[in-house]
Structures are given as structure tokens and as C-alpha cells.
Amino acid sequence: MELQFFMGANGIYTGDMIPGDRPATEEEIRDRFGDPVENELAAKQKAFTDAIQHRLDAFAQTRGYDGILSAATYATSTVPQFRAEGQYAVEARDATWATAYAILDAVLSGQRPMPSLEEIMTELPVLQWPDEA
């Protein structure tokens, strides 16, 4: 069943049309809810960035940090181990987001289709603490 939108005195609504109201135009629906194609793209971009951020945070948590942001703050630590981990967190974060945004730019410019989240993860830099390499 197709969802229908109607325009009444109080704006756009769905359900049974009230006498005196009329079907909403596509323009009115877009004004209220946005362009469905743009909304879908925005949702995919959010899923894309959320998944990448989760990957970075989960990696940092393997060493007891709250997330990648927390780990990166240790780049200037006076404790050599924390400083090395913090510096690697900064480098891993930067390399990951540079790759991610290059993928996203290629998608938005039409050079490639939007990859699945699984495909994106395989294109991102490998995350491995230097002392485990």
C-alpha cells in the first residue's frame, strides 16, 4: 500500500483525507520531508562515518583507551609507551579518514558507486599497534 500525503489547514498529514483537504503536491512533500534521494544519501553517509568511527574507537579500546580521541591525546605523554600509542592513534586516525573521505568524494563525484560497509572496511588502512607488527 502506497503512503499518501494530504494538505490541510494544519499542514501535511497521512491517513484518511479530511473533506475539504487535497492531496499534497510533490513540492510540498519535499519542502516538509526533504528530497528522498538526498535523505537516502545522507543516511548512507552517516552509516559510513559511524561505522568507520566505531572501527577506530574499537581499535583504541583494545589498549584500554575510551576511543581513538582519547588515545590520540596521549601523543604528547611523558610516558614512552603512551606517547608511542598516542602517536600511532593519530597516524591511524588520519590515514583512515583520508582514505574514507577519498572514497566518499569518488562516490559523490560519480566516479564509483557507494560501496557496502564491508567493502569500505577492506579499503581502509590496517589497524595494528606497532609493537604487534
Containing domain of residue 7, as a range? 1-34
Claim to verify: residue 86 and residue 49 sit in the same structural domain:
yes
Claim to verify: residue 2 and residue 67 sit in the same structural domain:
no
Claim to verify: residue 23 and residue 50 sit in the same structural domain:
no
Claim to verify: residue 64 and residue 51 sit in the same structural domain:
yes
Claim to verify: residue 122 and residue 72 sit in the same structural domain:
yes
Claim to verify: residue 44 and residue 25 sit in the same structural domain:
no
Enter the pTM of the model.
0.72
Claim to verify: residue 46 and residue 23 sit in the same structural domain:
no
pLDDT for the residue numbered 27: 81
More confident residue, 120 or 132: 120
What total of structural domains would you count in the chain?
A: 2
What confidence tier does 17 reach under pLDDT thresholds 50, 70, 90? Answer: low
- Asked whether the predicted pLDDT for residue 38 surpasses 90, the reply is no
- Asked whether the predicted pLDDT for residue 128 surpasses 80, the reply is yes
> 3-class secondary structure for the chain?
CCCCEEEECCEEEECCCCCCCEECCHHHHHHHHCCHHHHHHHHHHHHHHHHHHHHHHHHHHCCCCCCHHHHHHHHHCCCHHHHHHHHHHHHHHHHHHHHHHHHHHHHHCCCCCCCCHHHHHHHCCCCCCHHHC
- Asked whether the predicted pLDDT for residue 1 surpasses 60, the reply is no
Claim to verify: residue 25 and residue 45 sit in the same structural domain:
no
Lowest average pLDDT, out of 8-12, 17-21, 35-39, 51-55, goes to 35-39
